[in-house]
Chains A and B, each alone.
Chain A
Amino acid sequence: MSKKILLVTVLLSAIILFVGATAHSAPENKTITSGPFSGITCNDCHTCETPTITDPCLQACPRPRIGYEKVAPDTIIIDLLENLYVPVSFSHKMHMHMGETDKDCGTCHHHTPPGHGYPVCQECHTIEPSVESPIQPTLKGAYHQNCMACHMEWSHDKKCVVCHAKKGEEVAVEHHYPGVEEPMKMVWPSEEFDKGTKVTFFHQNHVELYGLACTKCHQGESCRNCHDKGEPRFKFHRDADAFHDMCNQCHGKRSCEWCHRTEEIAAFTHATWPLNCYHKPLSCAKCHKTKGKFKGLSRNCNTCHSDWSTANFNHAKITGVGLDEIHLEMDCGDCHMDRNFARKPTCDACHDDSRAYPASKPGP
């Protein structure tokens, strides 16, 4: 009997402890009920259990689950200080996306009190200077400090008209930053690794062919690293560890020699099956669906386009070869023998008069 009581007590205390433990970790999932962040939970933004001011352990910005896209304004017209110049149209949304490559929304929205949504500038910064408490810059100073730091970096200019249009003068605002001249290929020396002293990196392929977002590699960087009116561009000072971390995000399972070669390597071009205009914009995974190593796929269109039929297939638009009424009525398999669309059909399969494509066409 006493054994039973003991067992029950042990079980009960275990349950109480378990419930206690879950209750303890619960606050991180507490849902915010008011303010612009209402409806989200703590761990939508914070990655650790107890965020502090010094280490808020925030996820990279923007944090999609928060729905900043809905909360944050697209454009802000700054007209509070309108005087000599017309109001400034500030593309908030665009700068938000730029914030992805920089540290955080906090680059501009600094000193956000805990539990407070990102404050607007004039909540703290007054229009008139306060001689008695000069700790905070005025609104004008705050705006300029925030904007000029980056804008001067790439423009190397401090003319007011770079951002402001003067009243009465229809001068176009010159604040469009220079585009990025993306490098095609980069070859890094790796002398300290005996087996391969060259690492060839195809930047353009990673962006265009493999569809990598810029932020996958570029985070917490100055705008000027890519956008700069003067030379030189592309100033990335990274050590070997940083490079390895970056590449290993995707190529983590590769051997050292896969990147570190003795010679420069040729770019991957998908040459074994040239991509047409429809396939080019697709991400690799759209066709190569199995995770891990990309496997060769069957060249038969039906492998992916299983829904294509005689009724819905626009032969002229997709293949560039139009069909006349006679050919349109035929079944695909009549010309494409064994429905093998990878092999181009020939005329002499049906026609005996030795006609041949492209001199003769199956349509207009």
Chain B
Amino acid sequence: MSITRRQFLGMTGAAGAAGLVGSSVAQAQEHFTGWPDRYGVLTDLTLCIGCRKCEEACARVNDLPPPEPSPEDKSVFDEIRRTDAQSYTVVNRFPNPDPDKPPVYVKKQCMHCNEPACASACLVSAFSKTPEGAVTYNASVCIGCRYCLMACPFYIPAYEYDKALKPRVMKCTMCHDRVKEEGKLPGCVEVCPVQALTFGKRSDLIRLARERIIRNPDKYIDHIYGEHEVGGTSWMYITGVPFEQLGFNMDLGITPYPEFTRGFLSSVPLVLTLWPVFFTGVYLFSRRRNEIAKEEGDSSHEEEAKS
């Protein structure tokens, strides 16, 4: 049965019959392991030189304002930045624990989770995990609740608070349209002069990352960030410096975030459909019992009065 988790979640909202819902839960959890040929990006932090060309290219291809300050200005690295409504990606600098070695630059953007928390938190299905791997956003249905901002384990989506009309949630799209319709690479990947970013099928990228780690055990930490974190992400990282020293959150676990709420959320329709029927039944039953008791009481009073 080819049913996706997204379709399933939609179905559960509309489903009325409890039995059908229960069997769908079991099947969806058992069979869905993600789109087989989904794409991803591997960031090799040992190669990144911090030129911020990716920020520039990202702004260009997504019609965002050019990065401020300009890539020539190194003062930008004095503080750790986050993605915001005007930048889908930012590069931060972290000192190398070995003072003889150059600092480490870390590009930050949407990780495009295999099972996105933003999508599961969204009330109106504005987010979707595409077969190409990207997690995309549909502004036309968004109601602006910003649950996605709170749900994201990487604190990535940003909101256009300064727009009075039609504010949007802003986040990296992995250049979904460029990749799917124009057959191009994502803007940042295309421009990276040292190819610290590699675009390809996620399964190929994991192989590539493993090969690099095996070939250079002294150069790399034996960990692919994003292979298993929060159930796996399309954007992955390898590094020579421990991830925890580069601002990566290491206690996210490997359970997909939607998993935490699935039990509760899937019981909501059951509760909504069964509880009214059940309690109405209980109510009707007890009312009927009271009526009978009352009638019996009345008749016995009459009998007592008569006697």
Interface residues of chain A, those whose CB is within 8 Å of chain B, are 129, 131-135, 137-138, 140-142, 144-145, 148, 152-153, 156, 158-160, 224, 235
Contacts and interface: CB of A to CB of B under 8 A. Distances in A.
A145 B204 contact: no
30 contacts: A129-B199, A131-B199, A132-B200, A133-B204, A134-B199, A134-B200, A134-B204, A134-B205, A134-B208, A135-B204, A135-B211, A137-B195, A137-B198, A140-B195, A141-B192, A144-B193, A144-B194, A145-B47, A145-B194, A145-B195, A148-B49, A148-B193, A148-B194, A152-B49, A152-B102, A156-B102, A158-B49, A158-B50, A224-B100, A235-B100
Nearest to A145: B194
B102 A153 contact: yes
Given A129-B185, A129-B199, A131-B185, A140 B208 contact: no
Interface residues of B, number: 25
A171 to B, nearest CB: 15
Nearest to B40: A134
A144 B192 CA distance: 10
Given A133-B204, A134-B208, A158 B199 contact: no
Given A148-B49, A158-B49, A235-B100, A135 B208 contact: yes
Given A135-B204, A158-B51, 8 more contacts: A129-B185, A135-B208, A140-B193, A140-B195, A144-B193, A153-B102, A158-B50, A160-B193
Interface string B34-51: 000001001000010111
Interface in B200-215: 200-201, 204-205, 207-208, 211
B204 A141 contact: no
Interface of A is mostly: loop
B185 A141 contact: no
A138 B100 CA distance: 29
Residue from the set A152, A158, A224 with the largest chain B CB neighbour count within 10 Å: A158
Nearest to A129: B185
What 7 pairs across the A-B complex have the smallest Cβ distances? Answer: A141-B195, A134-B200, A137-B195, A144-B194, A158-B49, A144-B193, A134-B198
Nearest to B189: A129
B76 to A, nearest CB: 13
A99 to B, nearest CB: 19
A153 B200 CA distance: 30
Contact of B195 (A133, A144, A153, A156): A144
A151 to B, nearest CB: 10
Contacts of A137: 195, 198
B40 to A, nearest CB: 10
Nearest to B52: A158
A138 B195 contact: yes
B208 to A, nearest CB: 5
Nearest to B47: A145
Given A148-B49, A158-B50, A235-B100, A131 B200 contact: yes
Contacts of A140: 193, 195
A213 to B, nearest CB: 25
Contacts of B100: 224, 235
A156 B96 CA distance: 14
Contacts of B207: 135
Nearest to B41: A134
Interface in B72-101: 72, 100
B99 to A, nearest CB: 9
Contacts of A133: 200, 204
A142 B194 CA distance: 7
B194 to A, nearest CB: 4
Nearest to A153: B102
A24 B117 CA distance: 66
A140 B195 CA distance: 8
Contacts of B102: 152-153, 156
Contacts of A132: 200-201
Contacts of B195: 137-138, 140-142, 144-145
